[in-house]
Amino acid sequence: MMSKKINCFHLKLLKSFKERSERMSEYKIIKLSNKQELKDEAAKWFHSKWRVPLEAYQESIEDSLKPEAAIPSWYVCLDNHNIIGGLGVIENDFHNRKDLTPNVCA
């Protein structure tokens, strides 16, 4: 049941990103599992914005690359080849409410 909810959530999120990217044709929304060569650059970008340890991003992004992984899932927005934004769908974003999952983090 949880898997269906997650997949539905992902589809809504991707649809929203796609609609926005169509309006902003110069920007591209990329799911990191579809462009794995960006994983190190993305981890560094997230770390530079939020100061969460680089290793935490690297580990979570690496986990998202596994074929069976519904969560975590990581996305970046590219302007040409530069990361200008990003988000993650993660299990918990630093709170104690385990019933509130998944979380979108920036």
For 13-35, the pLDDT digits (tens) are 777 777 766 655 689 999 999 99
* pLDDT score, position 21: 61
One-letter identity of residue 43: A
Q: How many whole angstroms separate alpha carbon 31 and alpha carbon 39?
A: 10
What pTM does this model have? 0.73
Q: Please give the residue range of the domain that contains residue 61.
A: 2-105
Phi, psi of 31 (to 5 degrees): -85, 125
Q: How many whole angstroms separate alpha carbon 32 and alpha carbon 97?
A: 27
Type and span of the H or E element at 90: strand 82-90
For the chain, the domain total comes to: 1
The fraction of the chain above a pLDDT of 90, given in percent, is 60
